[in-house]
Structure 1
Amino acid sequence: MSSPGIVLVSKFTTSKSKKFTSYVNYIDRDEATRTKTFEKYNVNKLDGYNQYMGNPEKSNGIFTRFKDRLNESEKKQLKNIFQLAQDNDSVMWQDVVSFDNKWLEENKIYNPETGWINEGAIQNAIRKGMDVVLKQEQMEESAVWSASIHFNTDNIHVHIAIVEPYPTKEYGVYKDKNTGELYQARRGNRKKSTLDKFKSKVANTLLDRDKELAKISQLIHEKIAPKGYQFKPNATLYMSKMYNNIYSKLPSDMRLWKYNNNALNHIRPQIDELIKIHIEKFHAEDFKELDKALIEEMNFRKSVYGDGEKEIKRYEDYRENKHQELYAKLGNAMLKEMKYIKMQEQGRFEKNIPINERSHFAHKGQRHHKALTRSHINQLKKALQDDFQSYKNKRKYEQMQREIEYEQGR
C-alpha cells in the first residue's frame, strides 16, 4: 500500500480551552520558543498528528494571507486579533497539513541532499486552500488565519490556526463525554467536503495542475457539450427510433424533463444508451482525450491520497462523476429539444422562445409539428420524385401534341 502524499488532520477548540490561550501567548515569541512549546497549543496530537509527524525541529516563522513572514510588530498585531477572538468567544480551528517528503522530492519541491524546500510554493498552496475553506464555510469576511511551516526529518508540515474576531457561528448545546453534563458552545464542526476540497486545492496548486483541470472542463463544457448544443437525433435510423421512443415515454408535465429528475428514472438507461451512441459517432476522439485526462487525474489523486480502501473509492469516484456530468449535460440538451417539439405540437409558437434557444427543428419560419425521422425524409423524397416524374411526363405529352398540330397544319 502506497503512502499518501498529503495528510490533513483537523480539530477545533473553544475559547475556554487552555490550548487556545497557549496559542495566543506564543504567537509573538521567537521561533525557537514557539517550537519548544508546540505541544502546548497543538490540539491535533490526539487525532493522529504524532503518527505522521512527531515534534517539529524548526520553523521559519508565521505567514498569513498577505504576508510571507511577520515581523515583531506584525506578530503583536496578530496576537491582539487572536486575543480579541478569544474574548468574543470564537472557536479556534487548527489544521495540520503533512507532506510525505518523498512525494515532495518526486515533484521537485524538496531536495533532501541540500535541505532546500520551495517554501513559496507551499505558502501559495495553503493560501489557495484557505480561500476554499473560508468560502465553503461562509467565513470569507469574518475569519483570520495564520500558519507556519515546520521541518523535521520525516515530514514537512504546515500548522494553521483560524479564528473569528467577531464570531458568526451559532451556539449549540453539547454533552460532556466525561461528566455527562450539558454545556453551551459555538459550533465548530466543518463539513467533510470542505476539508476534502481544501486538501485537493493545496495539492493541485502545489503541483500547478490548474491547466490539467481546465483541460478536463474544456473538453466537457466546450468541445463535447457546449452551451446551446444541438443533439443530432436523426443521424441514423436506429438513433432516430431511440430518440422517438424516449420522447414517447416522457411524463406529460414538461417541468419534470430534467436529466437527474427522479421522474425519469425509468427511461434514464435509454437516454444514457442514446448518449453513448451519440458520443461514439460524433465525439469519439474528444471523449478518448477526456478519459485519458481523467485517468491521469486519478493517478495524481492516488499519489496524494494513497491507495487505502476509502482513498481508492475517493479518486475512482472523480472519474465516474465527470462522466456523469457529461451525460447530464448532453441529456439535458436532448430534453430541451424535446420540449420545443412538444411545445410546437401544442401550438406554442417559437416567437415565445428566446432566439438563441430556438430549436434546429424549425428553420426560416417553417413550423414542424414533429421531429423528421429518416422514414419521413424518405417518404418526402419519394413524393418529390413522383411529382418530378409526373411533371416530365406532362411536358413530354404537351410537346407531342404541339408536334401533331404542326404536322396537321402543313
Structure 2
Amino acid sequence: MNKVFSHSLKGTNPDIIIKQKFDKCRPTYVNYTLNHSGRDEDISSVRNDQDILGQEIAKERGHYADYVDYGNKEYQTKLEKGVISNLTSTFTQNSFNLNHDELNELKERVNNAAHNKNIMWKTVVSLSDDFLIREKIMDNAIDRNLDQRRLKKAVQKVMPNLLKKEGLNDSAEWWGNIHLRGDENDKHVHIHLATFEEISKRQKWQSQNGYKRNQPKGVFKQKNLDSFKKEFLKESELKHSMVIEKELLIERQISERKIIDRLRQNKEKVLFKEQTNLLNAIYNVLPDNQKEWRAKSNAVTMKTANSLADKFIDNFLTADPVAMESGEKLKK
C-alpha cells in the first residue's frame, strides 16, 4: 500500500469542495490536523468559536452587549479561566473539544491502528467565505469570527451515515479539526476529517491475480461522498426554526439578567439598611473606655459589640461570596 489514492466530488459548487484520499495510518496525522504540524499554531482555535447568529440577532434588537457579555453561556463555559487551557480544537462524534488527556488517548488508538498496518481515510471539506457569511456561520471576511460549533454539529450529524454506507459504522472512529484559514493564505476555512480503524473490519480486495489480496478496500464510493456533501450542506444551512430558537434563547437570557439585576439591587438596598442598623447598634454598645475597642478583646464590656460585629461580617460575606474566603481568614 505505497500509493496514495484520492478524488474529489463530481460537479461544481462554489460553496463547498470535498476531497478525500487514503494511505497508511500515521500517528503524526493527529498533530498535522491540529495546526499543520506546528507550522501555524493558531490556525485552529478554541477561542475563535462564537455564536454569530445569536450576536447578529441581539445586535438587531439592541441587546448585543447584554447577550454577548452575559447570555452567551453555551460558548462562555469552555472559555472560563482554567478550562480553556485543558481544551483542544479537536472534535469527534461525541465531543466538541477534546481535552489533552482525551487527545492523547486518541493518539494511542491511532498508533495502534498504524501498528496493525490499517489505512486512514483523510477528508478535507473546504467552505467558501460567501457560504459561511450567508448562512451566519462567519461574521464577515475581515474579522473572520466563526461559529465552529455549527460546523461541528453538521459533521457529527452526517458522519455516521457515511460510515454506515461504507460498512465502517461498527469498527471505525474519526476526529476532525477546523482550520480558520488555508495553508497559503488568510482565507479558505476548511475542515480536516480523519477516519481509521484500530482493528480493521473493512472488506478486503479479492482480485484474481492476488495483487490486492487481503488489502482493505480504500477510497469511499463516489455516490456516498456525494450524499455526504449534500447532507452536510443541508445540516449547515440556516433554518427558520434555528432563528426562532435563537431569538427565544436571547429573550429568555436577557429577561434572566434583568431579574437577577433587580434582585441584586433589592438585596443591596436591604443589606445596606441592615448593615447601617448593625453599625449603629455596635456604636451604641461600645464601652466608654476606647482602649477596650478591640476585635479580639475578651473584656465583658466588649462581648455584645463583638457579637454584633461578627454578624456584620457574616452579612457582608453572604452578600459577596467571592470575599468569603478572605473574610473568614480575617475573622480568624
TM-score by length of 2: 0.49
Higher share of residues assigned helix: 1
- Higher-RCO chain (CA-CA 8 Å, sequence separation at least 6): 2
Largest Rg, 1 or 2 = 1
TM-score by length of 1: 0.40
